Amino acid sequence: MGRWFEPSRGSGLVIGHLESSKLRKFFSFSLKISTIFPTSFLYFSKKSLIAYTILCLIPFFAVSFANSLPNSSKTPIFSQSEQIILILGKPGNTQGKLYFFAADGGEWKEIVSRVPVWFGRSGLISADKKREGDGFTPSGSFPVKRVFGYTRRSMRNLEYTQIRRKDHWSDASNSKHYNQFIRNYEKGATSLWNSPIYQLFIAIEHNTNPSIPGYGSMIFLHPWDETKPTSGCVGLKFSDLETIIQNLNGNKNPFILIVESEEEI
């Protein structure tokens, strides 16, 4: 089981842990630790410290998240990720914040910061407890593998599917295609055509390999202009999603990490 470090223990403790060569080797990171937030800034900004702390310590509890997921596949390896989409939300809340970090030239860099997001109407829940129609957004770690959209797009080493008029996604638990993208209509499937929330989205790989009936489907990071919760996806402004997708690189093993945080974010 992974270890959990409380962000509230302070930046001094975090810096001390990170500067341990043994710990750095465990992370599989050879990156500079002061890039995202300078040490002096950490001491003055509790909110930034929370994001920094979770980002740096996620390899310790990645195993715990992975073991809780219904998916049998544990690859790709989370601790080798060089791009992290970190999404934080307080328990019971339907709004949170998104951060996007990427390793470049041996340093972590912040691509986007504190982007407002909406969760499902019921808030966040551990991925193993997520069920179809419950209104929860699953928390956990999810590899970024697939991007979908209406327009032609060139992706760096990631699968991109241009959506066509007849394309659907099955969210019917009794379907053999449950929680799968399908090219034609079938009973109970949701059309991906002519909807602003499906014009561009990242598939959050919850319950996709394998797809267990009833454990939740169609969990996406998608555009959201509403001022209300989603049905279970993570919603954000189109422009912020566009920035994230433009910077994704499959060779950097990108991951989405959705975490409940008791602290203010």
Q: Which residue numbers are catalytic?
A: 222, 233
Q: How far from the centroid of its chain's Cα atoms is residue 160's Cα?
A: 17
* Beta strands 123-126 and 136-143, pairing class: parallel
- In the sheet that holds 146-149, the strands lie side by side as 123-126, 136-143, 255-260, 83-89, 95-104, 107-118, 234-236, 220-223, 200-203, 146-149, 159-162
Residue 243, H or E segment: helix 238-247
What length does the chain have?
265
At which residue do the structure tokens 């003055």 appear? Answer: 44
Question: Would you say the C-alpha torsion 232, 77, 128, 55 has a positive or negative sign?
Answer: negative
Alpha-carbon span 55 to 40, nearest angstrom: 18
Look at residue 156 and give its three-state secondary structure. strand
Q: Are 183 and 160 in contact (CB under 8 A)?
A: no
Residue 118, H or E segment: strand 107-118
Rg (CA), the chain: 18
